[in-house]
Amino acid sequence: MNIPKHIAIIMDGNGRWANLQGKKRIYGHFIGSTIIDKIAKKAKELKIEYLTLYTFSTENWKRPQNEVNFLMKLLGIQIRKKSDFMMKENIKFNCIGDITKLPQKQQEAILNLQEKTKNNSDLTINFAINYGSYMEIIRACKNICMDFSLNKLNCDNIDENIFEQYLYTKDIPDVDLLIRTGGEKRISNFLLWQIAYAEIIFLDKYWPEFNEDDLEYCIKEFSERKRRFGGLDD
């Protein structure tokens, strides 16, 4: 079976799943946060090298304040909880996005976990937190302009490889497989540059229902597709 090197997941449907259970949306977010460990273990078992999870988008700040407050609190709790798990499983934690907008405790938890796990090598998990692809690309353009003004960069030399070094995902391979749970069929401003040639699978299952078998199903579907990258079959 052809195993993707980099899988990205839009973990959608927590709130709608909770409503179907007759519970508040925040219950769905809590249950959804507990799914990550078993999916990470399965990804490691399958020799996936990178797993990127859309955790909190730049647009999520528009949600009701009580939900945002809960998500920030849950984020801090879960990141601190995952320290022992990631060390035991030899998983490296990485964060992409502008974490300076987060509460100070959450920023510290993120930085501490990145430092603690930086030498782990079986799997890298990227949490996309306060992440939006528009913001990422604009940020890259601003930094390129700054380096040009400081004579650190010749604009004639800019190509895809150089541009990618200004993204949050520098030194991380592009996404091979993008999975979105929850039944919606859109990208939602997630890794727009990095998924240019990704295979995409939309699932009707909500994220709290997603399990190891679903991950294997998606990888099997991926392995049966022909990736031509704009070319033709041999």
Any catalytic annotation for residue 60? yes
The position carrying tokens 């240019």 is 196
> How many residues does this entry show for the chain?
234
* Distance between CA atoms of residues 32 and 29, nearest Å: 5
Q: What are phi and psi of 176, to 5 degrees?
A: -90, -40
* Distance between CA atoms of residues 130 and 55, nearest Å: 8
What is the DSSP pairing of strand 123-131 with strand 91-96? parallel
Based on DSSP, count helices (H) and strands (E) in the chain, helices before strands. Answer: 7, 6
Q: Which of 2, 14, 19, 60 is catalytic?
A: 60
- By annotation, the residues acting in catalysis are 12, 60
